[in-house]
């Protein structure tokens, strides 16, 4: 062997040694950095038998109570990390977005026609969807342009409820759908059973009772029917300003961007139409169970607004007790701790896919707060929805109008407590909602009833 060959040989050996040593050190470091705390699993299947098919939020809540704000478990070799604090969510999604921008591909949603929904997209398509939504109603200031729509539909809500008090859920669902259709597509719903709203009553696969073909066909209607209506009105010069028409008026929009807009519009409807219903319905449940809180809220409304007019958004800053669900310190500690805080936290975390912007996937090994997150881990985040301002506006106004005008009382078969346990106050499906309950909801006074009957004569 020549001297040059010997030199090359030793260089290769040395390089190999360095590589092996580096890999060994990396693996050693990887082993020394612990996973976030969590339950021990069985060989191979991990914690697969522990995670329930329903009421999964109870399982996640149990993990948080037992192990803290950052927890982990495994399913068939896949590491799942649950992130519960806003600080950690922002750390991963904003500061480390290059590592956590990707979402796992959910083939089941492709099968039912929602593969391009906002919560399931990666990279630029997702950013386009979020940019569109944030541009129009991402802040309270931007949302103010739609306050007239919110006022009109919330007043229609209380009027319809006076006419037919036994259809609470229907009226809430109509309110939520009407607001979203008007803001997103410029569509004005008809009184009673609106044909488009009825047609779009299904917006997310809530189980597998029907075939994927059925769901795919229905999803296609949700995505294309209202979109095509807006296009037709724009062509005829009769379109009203809305989320979709405002962006389509941009002559430079590409076919790819238009396709993204079609799906983002449908996603706004799909995400909001059911989750807002759940929160408003839950509000009625809480008020029924907490008469003292209801009376104090009504007293605040009477003191600030009086009983001769209906509340509106200009009253919001003067109603701190009503606004407690957004963190006001005026609410009693007992109520905040036991009901409002738990209720809002529950509504924000019940479904990791539907309500939190979708799960993420770690693109490489990472360390968060001293805990190891391996590549390909599934990250469950409590993220912020770009349509949050629209949902908050609808929930706040409908709640304050209901309190100003109605008394919400239990009857014989009404629930007697607010329970988060399985089979309790909420269903355990993908989007949790209050379990069916009975109540008695009547106008607070003849003056309140007269105000409701004057709604048809008002110009909002």
- pLDDT tens for residues 371-392? 999 999 999 875 656 566 788 8
Name, of 177-191, 257-271, 370-384, the range with top average pLDDT: 177-191
Least confident stretch, 91-95, 186-190, 277-281, 423-427? 423-427
Position 167 scores a pLDDT of: 92
**Above 90 in pLDDT, residue 304?**
yes
Q: Please, how many CA atoms are within 13 Å of residue 300, restricted to the half-sphere of its CB?
A: 20
Range 269-275 average pLDDT: 72
256-267: b (≥16 Cβ within 10 Å) or e: ebeebbbbbbbb
Predicted TM-score (pTM) of this structure: 0.77
For the chain, the distance separating the N- and C-terminal CA atoms, rounded to the nearest angstrom, is 95
Q: Are 183 and 253 in contact (CB under 8 A)?
A: no
Which is higher by pLDDT, 169 or 110?
169
DSSP helix, strand, coil percent of the chain (3-state; round to 5): 55, 10, 35
* C-beta contacts of 371-375 below 8 A and 24+ residues apart: 371/33, 371/34, 371/35, 371/36, 371/70, 371/72, 372/30, 372/33, 372/34, 372/35, 373/35, 373/36, 373/79, 373/81, 374/30, 374/79
Scanning 120-254, the segments in alpha helix (DSSP H) are 123-137, 140-143, 147-163, 168-185, 195-199, 212-236, 243-248
56-457: which CATH topology?
Answer: Cytochrome p450 (1.10.630)
- pLDDT tens for residues 6-16? 233 223 333 33
The CA distance from 150 to 181, in Å, is 11
The CA distance from 262 to 184, in Å, is 11
The CA distance from 263 to 271, in Å, is 12
Instruction: List the chain domain ranges.
Output: 56-457
**Above 70 in pLDDT, residue 340?**
no
């Amino acid at each position: 062997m020549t001297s040059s060959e010997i030199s090359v040989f030793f260089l290769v050996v040395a390089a190999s040694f360095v590589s092996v040593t580096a890999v060994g050190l990396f693996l050693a470091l990887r082993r020394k950095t612990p996973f976030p705390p969590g339950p021990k699993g069985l060989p191979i299947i991990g914690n697969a038998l522990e995670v329930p098919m329903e009421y999964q939020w109870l399982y996640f809540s149990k993990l948080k109570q037992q192990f803290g704000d950052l927890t982990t478990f495994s399913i068939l070799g896949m590491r799942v990390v649950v992130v519960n604090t806003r600080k950690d969510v922002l750390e991963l999604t904003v500061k480390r977005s290059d590592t956590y921008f990707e979402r796992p591909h959910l083939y089941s949603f492709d099968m039912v026609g929602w593969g391009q929904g906002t919560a399931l997209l990666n990279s630029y398509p997702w950013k386009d969807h979020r940019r569109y939504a944030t541009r129009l109603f991402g802040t309270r200031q931007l949302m103010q342009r739609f306050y007239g729509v919110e006022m009109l539909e919330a007043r229609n809500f209380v009027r319809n409820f006076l006419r037919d008090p036994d259809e609470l859920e229907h009226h809430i669902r109509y309110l939520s759908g009407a607001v979203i259709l008007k803001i997103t597509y410029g569509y004005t719903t008809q009184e009673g059973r609106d044909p488009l709203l009825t047609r779009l009553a299904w917006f997310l696969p809530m189980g597998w009772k029907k075939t994927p073909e059925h769901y795919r066909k229905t999803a296609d209607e949700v995505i294309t029917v209202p979109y095509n209506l807006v296009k037709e009105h724009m062509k005829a010069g009769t379109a009203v300003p809305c989320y979709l028409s405002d962006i389509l008026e941009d002559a430079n929009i590409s076919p790819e961007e238009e396709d993204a807009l079609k799906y983002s519009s449908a996603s706004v409807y799909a995400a909001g139409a059911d989750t807002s219903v759940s929160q408003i319905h839950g509000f009625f449940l809480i008020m029924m169970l907490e008469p003292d809180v209801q009376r104090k809220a009504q007293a605040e409304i009477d003191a600030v607004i009086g009983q001769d007019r209906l509340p509106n958004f200009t009253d919001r800053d003067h109603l701190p007790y009503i606004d407690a669900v957004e963190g006001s310190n005026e609410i009693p500690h007992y109520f905040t701790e036991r009901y409002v805080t738990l209720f809002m936290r529950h509504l924000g975390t019940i479904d990791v896919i539907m309500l939190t912007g979708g799960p993420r996937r770690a693109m490489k090994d990472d360390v968060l707060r001293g805990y190891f997150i391996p590549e390909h881990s599934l990250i469950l985040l409590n993220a912020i929805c770009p349509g949050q301002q629209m949902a908050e506006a609808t929930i706040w106004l409908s709640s304050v109008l209901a309190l100003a005008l109605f008394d919400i009382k239990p009857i014989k078969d009404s629930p007697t407590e607010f329970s988060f346990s399985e089979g309790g106050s909420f269903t355990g499906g993908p989007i949790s909602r209050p379990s069916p309950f009975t109540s008695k909801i009547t106008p607070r006074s003849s003056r309140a009833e007269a105000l409701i009957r004057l709604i048809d004569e008002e110009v909002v």
